Structure 1
Amino acid sequence: MTWKRYFLFFVCVGIIYLVAHRFDNVNIGSQSFVLNVRSHNLQTSVPPRLPNDIYRPKHPHPLILLITVSDRAISEDARLVISVVQSLRLAIHPLNPMSFSSQIHQLISAKYFQMVIFEDFLIYFSLPAVAKSALDDYCKTNRVAVIAFFQNAHTLRGIPGNEDFAEIDPSYPLLFRSFATSSSPKGFFLSRESDVLHIARGGQVDERDLTDQLPPCRDWQRRSPMCFPLRRDGYPQLLSDVTAFVRHFVYLLPDFVSVLGRSCVTKASVWREYQKWRRSWAALVPRNSSDTDAFQTVAFTQVPLGRGTELERRSCAFRDNNVKKTVECDDAAVYQSLVLKDVGKIDGIERLLFAFGPLQHWSTSLLLNDAIHHFLKDSAVLEYDLGLQRYIHIDIDDVFVASRGTRMTVADVENLIETQNRWRRFMPGFTFHMGFSGMFFLHGNAKEQLGDETLIRHRHHFKWFCHTYSHLQAHLLSESELLDQLKLNKQFAEEKDLPIADGYAVAPHHSGVYPIIPHLYTAWKEVWNINVTTTEGYPRLFPSRFRRGFHYQGVQVLPREVCGVYTSTMRLSDYPGGIEKLEGMAFGGDLFDTLLFRPVNLYMTHFGNYAQDRLALYVFERVFAFLHKWTRLKVQWAPIWRLMEYHLSFNPSERASAPTSLPLYSDPCADPRHEAIWFPSACTPNARRLPAAVIVGPQKTGTTALLAFMAMHPNLQPNRFLPHPPYEEVQFFSNSTIYSKGVSFYNDQFLSSSTGINFEKSATYFDSPLAVMRMAALLPTAKIIVLLRDPMLRAHSWYQHQRAHQVPAALHFTFTEVLKASSLGEATAVATAASSSFNVTHLAPQLYQLHLKCVEPSTYATHFRHWFHHYRASRMLLVDVERLESNPAEVLRDVQEFLNVSTFIDYSTLLVRNERKGYYCARGGPYPKAGQLLKPDGLLEDVWCLSESKGRNYDHSLDGTNHSAFFAESNRELASLILRYPFWRPMRSRSASDLLPQWLRNF
């Protein structure tokens, strides 16, 4: 008997080995995935829509108002709505009910909005009667649609005899039906007939109970206990470990225990949240059978019969006997609406109503997208109307780089080829792109080395692109070291005969792409002639809807997407949040949203994601199946150069020819992800030198004098001056050639800020909208100094400045003629009338450009509006130029207070008026920080004045023409703006009118 026991023991061991070996090679990602969603044969009625006014002009920049539930923080439900609207590149303005009620008349008078979304429809009925009436009239008159959800329906009272049904409002013929936890509605159906559906595929059904259709948890959800345990990071587990450890030291940290108690999510709290979610399902039912033609069903569910009352049996969908090969439906079943459209017969306003909150079901982003398209397509210009095509590109980064035990084997490579061939049936030509680092070839175990060799043997099935040879990052390498890395990788590619994707590369960890490291682009061009790359980090990783591309040094940078699997996620059992989290990304979550809202999706995956459990294939198989079942989107593949062109067709501002094609630099030290791929030690206090204040101009207002006087202060440090143009100005934000040198270059224009406040002066910034955007991105907290001079004197001073520089248009035409040249046509007429000897074709454009440079910077109010989009008025100091000229010490007292300097200087002891020159000069010099701006006077001892090229005295006596009205309207706008906006004021100021320059007080 003993030998039999041994025999059985070894048989069991053998079976266990074979099973384990089988599961090592048969993988959860190796088979195509079939989603349990089918078509149905139910029919819903489609009442006619209100007639469209085809003659009504379309609004060029539609704005959507979101009326939120909370008076304080934006809820996560509202965040989802905002995310969808912003993903469509539309503007959205959230307002709480109180603010909306108080501002409704101003909003209406300005025709400010083209759609209203209520986070809770009950807010609409609780508005003050006057506000509600005004909103209704505006919506009817302007064909403004309303979209609404239900959040606090538990406050509604049930109808006597039918407690499950509640009246939403006596004025509105719709009832809200809630369900007990024990009687869950069954199935989520999309109507086959609804005209609201555009991307959504009508006629589909998920037959599971609604309580089994858990919504996906997005990465940004933080407040829901249901989603907290599924977060991608390890915070919940870390918190649990810390809690267990700290309990031994409670007496040392008495307050910390309460923090842990508030932060830790227990199973009980998750269960309570789940039960609350289950109880929140409801349906919308017309109050009377005669009201059904006022509504069109978009989505519905099969409801329990209950006691069989007439309301309980009022169905919105019926069997269509002409439809075959679909899900069989019980003729006695009752269906009621989850999402329905009020077609406008009730009060002339079209609405789309959801019987649930935004985060309650995965379909919200899809249906909200379609609803916005449906209501706005005839009334607004939708610049980001994506259509039904979506392009897919999948990179496999770090090929050969994965650590031993996590790399691809022969079976993984064969499965990858099989998957690629299968996907080509619905994406013709689809090809995985392999990013390689040749140094790590054959660095795995024996099975993985065979996998490497198999991958090389089948190399022509894929396209290949370069990382660096040893996977080193650009910010850690000098230019010569980086060149060596790229050349070694190219040598490896040539030795292995890799089919290279022409002109395409991806930097390890995206280092050097953004934040910009110029020598990466230079090396790419020299070795590989790269013209396309991708990054996930511009302008930042999250939220993904804001990712954009740009063009830099001949390389088009495209936005890259993530799919939820990373270098550390190899096995499903170890995936943070488990299978629910990963599948949720595909089934209506973050991954689904990227495909819904982006026409071109370039995905990042990693070598190890195709080994082990093959999680990359696992999640993509599911999202493709989900897209096919629930949407009409057609997934396609194209070569990288075609993807670039298709992306640029939707993002023309990123083209090389566009003035906005360069990236908007942000401070790399302000974002931990950017800091991690920035120069080592560049974020130390001594290395960070970005200015805290900027004199922005405009030109010909005395900015150089203010710069020189500020440089005399021991705590104020200007930028380094140059011996050549632009001399004392950096002009970083207004000159694209200088701007392209990058953040590191700009930082190097300043000394260490440890001993004072760094500042710069560039008078070209004020009237440049592009400079404002660039500055706000890099210096969001900077203090702004603006000098205001009489606009006519400023314009005439520029004209005289151009005459002094022998500009032909200024020499040939009077100042009055320059002012008249307000268009190219006017300039041509002025030039023609002035003299027949002029080359009009040549001079007219010059004359028009001179007009713009004279006039545009003087329209102060126009430019301030650009600044207000990015900076608060309280961070702006207005300097009256007349006051600077007559009493500079007083102005500099305000400057010191504005900048909050540590040492206060009395400039009245340092400045003296030079009667011969007609302006103030310094005494007590030299002042090294002022550079060559302040030079010895020569005639007066110990007096330092601006150089001869600065502070010119021009004859401002104009000809007999009356110019007083030229800037009158602009000046009135400026005066009103100064009085309305909270510009910074010194402590001595008593009212905003103190800020008005003398020349502006008459307006």
Structure 2
Amino acid sequence: MLKLWKVVRPARQLELHRLILLLIAFSLGSMGFLAYYVSTSPKAKEPLPLPLGDCSSGGAAGPGPVRPPVPPRPPRPPETARTEPVVLVFVESAYSQLGQEIVAILESSRFRYSTELAPARGDMPTLTEHTRGRYVLVIYENLLKYVNLDAWNRELLDQYCVEYGVGIIGFFRAHEHSLLSAQLKGFPLFLHSNLGLQDYQVNPSAPLLHLTRPSRLEPGPLPGDDWTIFQSNHSTYEPVLLASLRPAEPPVPGPLPRRARLPTVVQDLGLHDGIQRVLFGHGLSFWLHKLVFVDAVAYLTGKRLCLDLDRYILVDIDDIFVGKEGTRMKVADVEALLTTQNKLRTLVPNFTFNLGFSGKFYHTGTEEEDAGDDMLLKHRQEFWWFPHMWSHMQPHLFHNRSVLADQMRLNKQFALVLPRQTCGLFTHTIFYNEYPGGSRELDRSIRGGELFLTVLLNPISIFMTHLSNYGNDRLGLYTFESLVRFLQCWTQLRLQTLPPVPLARKYFDLFPQERSPLWQNPCDDKRHKDIWSKEKTCDRLPKFLIVGPQKTGTTAIHFFLSLHPAVTSSFPSPSTFEEIQFFSGPNYHKGIDWYMDFFPVPSNASTDFLFEKSATYFDSEVVPRRGAALLPRAKIITVLTNPADRAYSWYQHQRAHGDPVALNYTFYQVISASSQAPLALRSLQNRCLVPGYYSTHLQRWLTYYPSGQLLIVDGQELRTNPAASMESIQKFLGITPFLNYTRTLRFDEDKGFWCQGLEGGKTRCLGKSKGRKYPDMDTESLLFLTDFFRNHNLELSKLLSRLGQPVPSWLREELQHSSLG
């Protein structure tokens, strides 16, 4: 019996172990099946979000100083013939938030501007140049900096505004120490600050309205509790935006009803002191202030800086057929797409979705999603189409052109650039309640936020969306129907659309200057570097440029620098007098690969200095911008000599090269030619005189490069003491090792200038074309040029003083002679 029990017991233990293992296996299998079922089953969704409705949700119009609509008064135009279309922006600091918001809107609107730190004391920037005003509008980030200007500068600025018809925009930002109520110094205007407001409305009779459409009262609180409202009995002030106090706020002084609507933005019509202004009682964080700000700029500049009312919208739906199972469009989604397209066509004539496809992924979804693919093709004539790659590969990953072409042909067989904007919808943003930051973030973008501003500030907007945004919660349909309705509620914009190719033509008709590319360094942005060939390098770009002007000694500097072991010049160009002239001529359109082919791969990118010299760069209008885009950290070297001597040297240079105009006219006839002279004569005159407008050209360079990256070499010192000039250049560039040019250079008596010293007392000099001797300039021409360049030289002296750069010896002599004369 005992033996039998010993046999049975191990058997039962074995069965129990097996049972436990089976239970564990069953549990794991059940969990795996459940996970698979949950991941592959359609997600239980809440009802689809409905597009935002037509305009305001309504609300009674409360009491307040809004007058009945009247025909808008035309803006008093500034003296357009006497002011440059440039906005002067006084900011609190280079990093202040409001200042950056002001600049961002001006940049997006393609308006030219100049920023200055608002002077509490000290000099106002120069407001005029000769008889022209330098600015068409003045903006103060802090209104109090304008109001509290010292008497001298305030009178200077106000006289300028009156004389040139220039307006002022000012922002008052309350803080915890602001007086709750105060009169604005020098104005019949009272401010009440640190208020919480609600229920805003646009005054339909405000003269400045252009883009802004007056709407009904919009209920709800305004963001923040630091608002300022304006009060005045003077007829010069017209309210633009109005709002009511929140119930918890104490009433403001005055006989106004409790629910009165109070101005947060006022327009000064100039009846008080002859200057038109627009004053904001808050910053630009409130979306409607941005809209009114754009209108204020247009009004105060007499619509010289004004956005047109036409807006073109194109919505691309990328990755048609590409989405993974469970995220693609079904038949109902395609029907909704067609329905929404038809609704949008009532608001935007001929609105049509633009579908981007990769043919390889057709019919790769679930059965329902494959039916959605068929539905799209059934209605293919209802949409516009454009191809991606056949297999959705990124073109820059192909290293074989024939394979790339084969992939494109496959998509073409299946089917038998303009800049685009994102709109906050990506492949993963497919459910309304799971939108990053919450659904309110999407609605905020539509209702006055980023998406709204994109359309407001861009004549043409092409939005990138994805297939998955039109299945699931159909956020693409929700977003664009809501956006179009909101734009029509609050703006006067005329929304239109065009197919891609006609839209491209329209874009470049509007912005012909953008037909030319603006090359940037592909290694400065990781996203650009990722789509650049791995076989290329950015190390073959120069670290500094010698920019000219011509006939000042730039070739000599090029020669001297090439003697340094750490410095390498570009290869000579066979077609443009050895200089590359990339940034200043047709070579620019050949691209940066063509440009980099003129430079060797440096042995050590950190210590080797590549450079190029093109003397045509200095006075070119396009080179500083192009140079800063591709070489933002490059050092810039320019050589300045007496502009009269430079003009005469250029004339003699042209004679030596057989220019018939230079051979047939004396130097004085060239420089004194009238505007009615033959074109060829005036062309030579310009090449003699215009490069000598040194301060004008330097200001252009300083618009794009900081002054610390610019070195001005004294051309007279370079001729008489080149070792000293080369020492300054080496220090400026930070070149090591330091080359002693006192030992390297030797003056050649026969040649008449400095050359490389060789063993045995020999020298190696520049070619025969350099260092020519020619007769001295005649007295009549010298007197003419001394008078002609007097003001230009004076402006150069002021500029160098502001920059803290030494005044060249030749300039000191010219200024001394001018003062004696």
Q: Give the corresponding residue for 1:296.
A: 238
Shift in Å, 1:335: 3.3
> 1:132-143 counterparts in 2 under 5 A?
132=154, 135-136=157-158, 138-140=160-162, 142-143=164-165
Q: Which amino acid aligns with 1:399?
A: I
Q: Give the corresponding residue for 1:168.
A: 183
Q: Which amino acid aligns with 1:467?
A: H
> 1:441-452 counterparts in 2 under 5 A?
441-452=362-373
Per the alignment, in what secondary structure is the counterpart of residue 297 of structure 2? helix
1:664 aligns with 2:687: no
1:743 aligns with 2:592: yes
Shift in Å, 1:763: 1.7
Per the alignment, in what secondary structure is the counterpart of residue 731 of structure 1? coil
Residue segments in structure 1 that go unaligned for 5+ positions in a row? 1-12, 159-165, 215-276, 316-331, 498-532, 536-559, 655-660, 828-844, 926-939
Shift in Å, 1:120: 4.5
> Is the 1:793–1:956 contact (alpha carbons within 8 Å) kept by the matching residues of 2?
no
1:435-488, CA deviations, whole angstroms, 9 ceiling, x for partnerless residues?
Answer: 22223333334333332232222221111112322333343334624xx43454
Q: Which amino acid aligns with 2:585?
A: N
Of 423, 433, 445, the match for 2:354: 433
Per the alignment, in what secondary structure is the counterpart of residue 431 of structure 1? coil
Cα separation, 2, equivalents of 1:998 and 1:350: 46
Of 143, 164, 169, the match for 1:147: 169
Q: Give the corresponding residue for 2:28.
A: none
Shift in Å, 1:915: 3.4
> 1:527-676 counterparts in 2 under 5 A?
533-535=417-419, 560-654=420-514, 661-676=515-530
**569-578 or 870-879, which deviates more:** 870-879
1:37 aligns with 2:57: yes
Shift in Å, 1:733: 1.0
1:860 aligns with 2:712: no
Shift in Å, 1:581: 1.3
> Is the 1:691–1:758 contact (alpha carbons within 8 Å) kept by the matching residues of 2?
yes
Q: Give the corresponding residue for 2:297.
A: 372
1:812 aligns with 2:731: no
Cα separation, 2, equivalents of 1:193 and 1:432: 38
Shift in Å, 1:102: 2.5
Cα separation, 2, equivalents of 1:606 and 1:580: 21
The 1:436/1:942 distance shift into structure 2, 3 A limit, reads farther
Cα separation, 1, equivalents of 2:368 and 2:404: 28
Cα separation, 2, equivalents of 1:692 and 1:22: 57
Q: Which amino acid aligns with 1:194?
A: A
Cα separation, 1, equivalents of 2:565 and 2:804: 24
The 1:749/1:473 distance shift into structure 2, 3 A limit, reads farther
> Is the 1:877–1:983 contact (alpha carbons within 8 Å) kept by the matching residues of 2?
no
**876-885 or 615-624, which deviates more:** 876-885
1:628-657, CA deviations, whole angstroms, 9 ceiling, x for partnerless residues?
Answer: 222222211223344334433432323xxx
Q: Give the corresponding residue for 1:381.
A: 304
> 1:199-598 counterparts in 2 under 5 A?
199-207=211-219, 209-210=220-221, 214=223, 277=224, 279-281=225-227, 283-286=229-232, 291=233, 293-303=235-245, 314-315=256-257, 334-359=260-285, 361-377=286-302, 381-382=304-305, 385-478=306-399, 480-481=401-402, 484-497=403-416, 533-535=417-419, 560-598=420-458
Q: Give the corresponding residue for 2:96.
A: 75
Shift in Å, 1:790: 4.2
> Is the 1:785–1:877 contact (alpha carbons within 8 Å) kept by the matching residues of 2?
yes
The 1:644/1:978 distance shift into structure 2, 3 A limit, reads same
**911-920 or 388-397, which deviates more:** 911-920
Q: Give the corresponding residue for 1:848.
A: 682
Q: Which amino acid aligns with 1:368?
A: F
Of 722, 726, 731, the match for 1:892: 726
1:692 aligns with 2:543: yes
Taking structure 2 as the reference length, what is the TM-score of the superposition? 0.83
Cα separation, 2, equivalents of 1:959 and 1:133: 47
The 1:762/1:629 distance shift into structure 2, 3 A limit, reads same
Q: Give the corresponding residue for 2:646.
A: 794
Shift in Å, 1:396: 1.5
Cα separation, 1, equivalents of 2:684 and 2:147: 58
Q: Which amino acid aligns with 1:433?
A: N
Shift in Å, 1:586: 0.7
Shift in Å, 1:496: 3.9
Q: Give the corresponding residue for 1:875.
A: 709
Per the alignment, in what secondary structure is the counterpart of residue 201 of structure 2? strand
Per the alignment, in what secondary structure is the counterpart of residue 826 of structure 1? coil
> Is the 1:39–1:203 contact (alpha carbons within 8 Å) kept by the matching residues of 2?
no
The 1:669/1:492 distance shift into structure 2, 3 A limit, reads closer
Cα separation, 1, equivalents of 2:709 and 2:386: 47
Per the alignment, in what secondary structure is the counterpart of residue 287 of structure 2? coil
The 1:395/1:860 distance shift into structure 2, 3 A limit, reads same
> Is the 2:359–2:391 contact (alpha carbons within 8 Å) kept by the matching residues of 1?
yes
Q: Give the corresponding residue for 2:207.
A: 195
Q: Give the corresponding residue for 1:680.
A: 534
> Is the 1:820–1:826 contact (alpha carbons within 8 Å) kept by the matching residues of 2?
no
Cα separation, 1, equivalents of 2:575 and 2:617: 16
Shift in Å, 1:577: 1.2
1:757 aligns with 2:609: yes
1:473-531, CA deviations, whole angstroms, 9 ceiling, x for partnerless residues?
Answer: 343334624xx43454344334444xxxxxxxxxxxxxxxxxxxxxxxxxxxxxxxxxx
Shift in Å, 1:588: 0.5
Q: Which amino acid aligns with 2:631?
A: L
The 1:588/1:314 distance shift into structure 2, 3 A limit, reads same
Q: Give the corresponding residue for 1:523.
A: none
Q: Give the corresponding residue for 2:766.
A: 946
Q: Give the corresponding residue for 1:255.
A: none
Per the alignment, in what secondary structure is the counterpart of residue 741 of structure 1? helix
> Is the 1:728–1:761 contact (alpha carbons within 8 Å) kept by the matching residues of 2?
no
> Is the 1:399–1:435 contact (alpha carbons within 8 Å) kept by the matching residues of 2?
yes
Per the alignment, in what secondary structure is the counterpart of residue 721 of structure 1? coil
The 1:710/1:156 distance shift into structure 2, 3 A limit, reads closer
Shift in Å, 1:778: 1.6
Q: Give the corresponding residue for 1:85.
A: 106
The 1:764/1:57 distance shift into structure 2, 3 A limit, reads closer
> Is the 2:269–2:276 contact (alpha carbons within 8 Å) kept by the matching residues of 1?
yes
Shift in Å, 1:921: 3.3
> Is the 1:65–1:117 contact (alpha carbons within 8 Å) kept by the matching residues of 2?
yes
Q: Give the corresponding residue for 1:102.
A: 122
Per the alignment, in what secondary structure is the counterpart of residue 742 of structure 1? helix
Q: Give the corresponding residue for 2:84.
A: 61
> Is the 1:719–1:749 contact (alpha carbons within 8 Å) kept by the matching residues of 2?
yes
Q: Which amino acid aligns with 2:304?
A: V
Cα separation, 2, equivalents of 1:959 and 1:995: 19
> Is the 1:694–1:785 contact (alpha carbons within 8 Å) kept by the matching residues of 2?
yes
Shift in Å, 1:589: 0.7
Cα separation, 2, equivalents of 1:676 and 1:590: 27
Q: Which amino acid aligns with 1:766?
A: F
> Is the 2:138–2:168 contact (alpha carbons within 8 Å) kept by the matching residues of 1?
yes
Q: Indicate the percent of aligned positions where both proteins have the same amino acid.
A: 32
Per the alignment, in what secondary structure is the counterpart of residue 639 of structure 2? strand
1:981 aligns with 2:794: no
Cα separation, 2, equivalents of 1:726 and 1:488: 40
Cα separation, 1, equivalents of 2:692 and 2:179: 62
Residue segments in structure 2 that go unaligned for 5+ positions in a row? 1-33
Query: Aligned residue pairs: how many?
Result: 773
Q: Which amino acid aligns with 2:685?
A: H
The 1:430/1:305 distance shift into structure 2, 3 A limit, reads closer
Q: Which amino acid aligns with 1:300?
A: L
Q: Give the corresponding residue for 1:725.
A: 575
> Is the 2:77–2:165 contact (alpha carbons within 8 Å) kept by the matching residues of 1?
no
Shift in Å, 1:903: 1.2
The 1:449/1:153 distance shift into structure 2, 3 A limit, reads same
